[in-house]
Amino acid sequence: MVRNINFDLYEGEIVGIAGLMGAGRTETTRAIFGIDPKESGEIILDGKTITINKPLDAIQAGIVLAPEDRKKDGLCTKLSVRDNISLPNLDILCNALSIVDRKKEKSMSEKAVSDLKIKLPTTEVDAGSLSGGNQQKVVVAKWLARNSRVVIFDEPTRGIDVAAKVEIYNLMNELKEQGIGVLFVSSEMPEVMGISDRIIVMCDGKVTGEMPTNEATQDSILMYATKFDKKIDAVKA
Amino acid sequence: MGRELKQSYFKKIMSIRGMGQVLTVTVGLAVLFIVFGFLNPTFASSKNIGNLLRQIAPIVLIGIGQSFVLITGNIDLSIGSVVGMSCMISATLMTKGVNPWVAVVITILCCLSVGFINGELVAKCKLPPFIATLGTMTISRGIAQIVNNNYNTDSIGEGAKTFRDIFYYGKTLGLYNTIWIAIILWAVFNFLLSRTRTGRHIYAVGSNIEASKLSGVSIVGTTVKAYLVSSFCAAVVGLIICATSGMGTMDAGNMYEMYAVAASVIGGVSTLGGQGILLGTIIGAAIWGVLQNGLQFAGAPVAIRNIVIGIIVVVSVLLDVVVRSGKPKRKNESSGKVGFKLKA
Amino acid sequence: MKKRLLGALLCAAMVGTMLAGCGGSSDKAADTSASGVSASGASTSAPAADKNFKVYLITMDQMDQYWVNVDAGAKKAAAELGNVDYKWSAPDVKDDAKQIECINNAVADKADAILLAANGPDAVTAALKEAQAAGVKIVYVDSAAKFDGEATFATDNTAAGKTAGEQMKKALEAAGKTSGKIGIINVNAATASCVARETGFRSAFEGSNFEILATQYGEGDAAKSKDIAANYITSGVVGIFGANEGSTVGAGNAIQEAGGEVIGVGFDKSDTILSLIKDGFLLATMAQNPDVMGEKGVKAAVDALQGKSLGGAVTDTGVSVITKADVK
């Protein structure tokens, strides 16, 4: 349950959402993306209020999400990399009769693989057979073919090697340069402070703090991250 | 030059997902065919082949329906009862003087509604598919019984002669019409599954519902579509049976849902969802048909027949499960070994 | 004063319920395991001296027109006799366990007699023993169980099968054939009546030059039976025997498709079978007399309940051979 979430995201900036586990960050991203129902609230994009009741609405409005658990929510591991990349893009790849243009599909997946430098023998291999870092790239690659306005990353570098991490950071910066609003949830403080322009901190389902990154310190973030409504009493000795 | 072309052709075919299993079972089919032909040469006569293909056609159709549902990760136990319902509704209408083609349309609509209900129960109400389709199975069988007041129907009469020819007795270009019906519907549904958006959605939902949802796929819509295909195919088979017997029988289609699962699984469609191609279902249906037909010509006692068929199904499912779970993972995942080079 | 009024009221209440109980009760829907149309029998509301006898007919299922005819005969007898509360019950599909349930439910419903067409002759014996111990009289219709009943009214299936075989042999010889292959389509290896028919059929060909192939089972499904028959025809048979309605329909359809050379003989009557005979694709069918079974069964049950000893007599209700000449 998250409540009183109010924040703005500007074009061409990276906003990091920090907080402890259970703070409600993933829930927030899921609510924005339309996976979980909202009781109340508005999402305003480019000045217009948009209704998001399911992920398809968000995708069509230009808001996309790379989820926290890539194996469970992000990829169909037994389908090919190509199938995974084209799945949310079938509206672009199909003609009026809903027939998939296989040539277009092939070039879309090959472009995605080369743009993100995904290491694989061919795009036909099972998505689940790739390394963690390459899997994460496929999860993101799905969205790059679309003209998205907002890209949300939930724990994008969890469980991937350092080289791949760097590539993901570079990707986020490229998106920022293209004028896309990047929102990313992370539990790694150095990462949040290293790459974002602004930091939002959540605690116990609420936004407790917001600051430009150049003014943030690990302590201040931690302070906001632990700002519970009720004081947690220390255990009596 | 010729050899290179052949090799690349072969490679191209092998690279299609699911072809491995298809080729294996095709070899199996060929072996069975040769064995039965040897045991009784009449088996391989052109007359019998014609009959054999016509006996396989309905299994192909129900196999297609069940495959669609299996690929979405569900199962349809109502297929056999819908076949019975279709046979009874069409025959009852025809015996009451309704034009056969009008009866066909009404029958198909009734059966499609069962498919729709199955899809909604499973995807919207989140009932386990086994339970949901068990329920519609019982209800459909009940409707098959009630439609003509709990009896089998009278003969559908002379007015239905064209209907009977088109669905069963007639031949076109040397092949029985039933075979053409199976071929045409297979072509249509295969295209749907392999080349359209709906087909992609069907594989995705069977592979990972959450990830599909997050890619904007409508789970309810896709599930319903798969069940609609299944009921449509069952409806057509019921019409074929009505044409065959020239009357409606309440227990038509009994156990067909199981034959459909067998044909699908032998052909490589996984019961876990997300895998398999319809070409495999055809071969699976053919193996089933060849066994039924061939064992009669070979004079095998009925008990042996059931045992043989059962063994083949179990082996196919086993292969499916073993192969799927044993796929090699990439080296640096789950291998657990880390190498360090220590600086002296 | 008050006590007396209360006493009178209580007496009136008791008498009232006694009278209500005596008058015939209207029947509720019969006992079935799944949805199915069931017939409830006629009952009389005679405040007569004897109470009505509750007679249950339990058949193998309620789908076959054949059982509907047994029920019709039974209903007729019940109406004629006037002292029978009649009910028809059966499982939704042919199943031993389900039929046992029906028997037990009938006993619990205080049936006085049960007319039974046993699905499995051994399976139901335990239930029948219990029923008999509860005082229920048992009469068999169509298929007896391996348990002594008051009487049995059934087709002598073996004799009927032999008649079918003789019909086929006669026709083959008239067509100049004294040898060749013959195929049998049966239901399954368990139904006693069908097995008996096959035995009878085979006996008609003993000592002849005809070769009867291994029996194939079509579960009584007309479409499956048609495939089996078509395969027989491809193997070059000269004759096909269908041991029940579905098998016969299948055989007839296959013979029609093949041009009508093969001689087909079957069992049971139905609209489709009659038209196949009329068109010449089936030579003859053995029509049983299920209505006679039902009618005589109910009468025997009442006799037994009124104290008559029937000694387990078996009555062959016979078959009529229906050929083209008999079909208008």
- The complex scores an ipTM of 0.91
pLDDT tens sequence across A78-132: 999 999 999 999 999 999 999 999 999 999 999 999 988 999 999 999 999 999 8
| Beta carbons within 8 Å of A144's beta carbon, 6+ residues apart | A112, A115, A116
C10 three-state secondary structure? helix
| Pairwise CA distance, residues B47 & A121, whole Å | 50
Task: Give how many domains chain C has, as a whole number.
Answer: 2
Measured between beta carbons, which residues in chain B are less than 8 angstroms from residue A90? 197, 200-201
C161 in Cβ contact with C198 (< 8 Å):
yes
Note whether B323 contacts A: Cβ–Cβ < 8 A.
no
C263 in Cβ contact with C174 (< 8 Å):
no
A14-225 fold: Rossmann fold (3.40.50)
CATH of the domain at B32: 1.10.3470
DSSP secondary structure string for all residues of C236-276:
TEEEEEESSHHHHHHHHHHHHHTTS-SEEEEES--HHHHHH
Q: Is C12 inside any structural domain?
A: no
Domain shared by C179 and C128, yes or no: no
The count of residues in chain B is 344
A198 three-state secondary structure? strand
Q: How many CA atoms lie within 13 A of C310 on its CB side?
A: 24
Q: Is C206 inside any structural domain?
A: yes
Domain shared by C108 and C179, yes or no: no
- C-alpha distances in angstroms, B76 versus B1, B66, B209, B213? 49, 6, 18, 22
CATH of the domain at C237: 3.40.50.2300
The mean pLDDT of C193-221, rounded to a whole number, is 93
| Pairwise CA distance, residues B183 & C78, whole Å | 56
Full domain range(s) for residue B79: 19-299+306-322
Q: Is C328 inside any structural domain?
A: no
Q: Do C63 and B301 touch (CB under 8 A)?
A: no
Do A and C touch (≥3 CB pairs < 8 Å)?
A: no
Domain shared by C80 and C197, yes or no: no
| Pairwise CA distance, residues B247 & B168, whole Å | 13
Q: Is C43 inside any structural domain?
A: yes
| DSSP assignment letter at B15 | H
Kindly tell me if the per-residue pLDDT of C48 is higher than 90. no
Kindly tell me if the per-residue pLDDT of A64 is higher than 50. yes
Q: Is B55 inside any structural domain?
A: yes
Domain shared by C180 and C148, yes or no: no
Q: Do B327 and A129 touch (CB under 8 A)?
A: yes
| Pairwise CA distance, residues B291 & B32, whole Å | 8
| Identity at B116, one-letter amino acid code | F
Measured between beta carbons, which residues in chain A are less than 8 angstroms from residue B216? 54-56, 59-60, 88
Q: Is B1 inside any structural domain?
A: no
Q: Is B7 inside any structural domain?
A: no
| Beta carbons within 8 Å of A156's beta carbon, 6+ residues apart | A66, A136, A140, A168, A172, A184, A186
A164 in Cβ contact with A133 (< 8 Å):
yes
Residue B83: phi and psi, rounded to 5, are -60, -45
Q: Is C21 inside any structural domain?
A: no
Task: Return the residue of B nearest to C275 by Cα.
Answer: B155
Q: Is C5 inside any structural domain?
A: no
Measured between beta carbons, which residues in chain C are less than 8 angstroms from residue B155? 271-272, 275
Q: Is B10 inside any structural domain?
A: no
Domain shared by C147 and C176, yes or no: no
Q: Is B329 inside any structural domain?
A: no
Q: Do B208 and A142 touch (CB under 8 A)?
A: no
Domain shared by C194 and C279, yes or no: yes
| Pairwise CA distance, residues A149 & A183, whole Å | 11
Nearest to B195 among A88, A91, A100 (CB): A100
Full domain range(s) for residue C203: 157-288
Task: Give how many domains chain B has, as a whole number.
Answer: 1
The whole-angstrom distance between C181's CA and the closest CA on chain B is 13
Q: Interface of chain C against chain B, CB under 8 Å? A: 34-37, 62-65, 68, 92-93, 189, 213-214, 216-217, 219-223, 226-228, 230-231, 234-236, 245-246, 249-250, 253, 257, 270-272, 275
B68 three-state secondary structure? helix
Domain shared by C83 and C182, yes or no: no
Domain shared by C126 and C205, yes or no: no
| Pairwise CA distance, residues C282 & C226, whole Å | 13
Predicted confidence pLDDT, tens digits, chain B (344 residues):
567 667 777 777 777 888 888 888 898 899 999 999 999 999 999 999 999 999 999 999 999 999 999 999 999 999 999 999 999 999 999 999 999 999 999 999 999 999 999 999 999 999 999 999 999 999 999 999 999 988 889 999 888 999 999 999 999 999 999 999 999 999 999 999 999 999 999 999 999 999 999 999 999 999 999 999 999 999 999 999 999 999 999 989 999 999 999 999 999 998 889 999 999 999 999 999 999 899 888 888 777 877 887 888 788 777 767 766 655 444 333 333 343 434 43
How many H helices and E strands in chain C?
Answer: 10, 13
Q: Is B199 inside any structural domain?
A: yes
Q: Is B12 inside any structural domain?
A: no
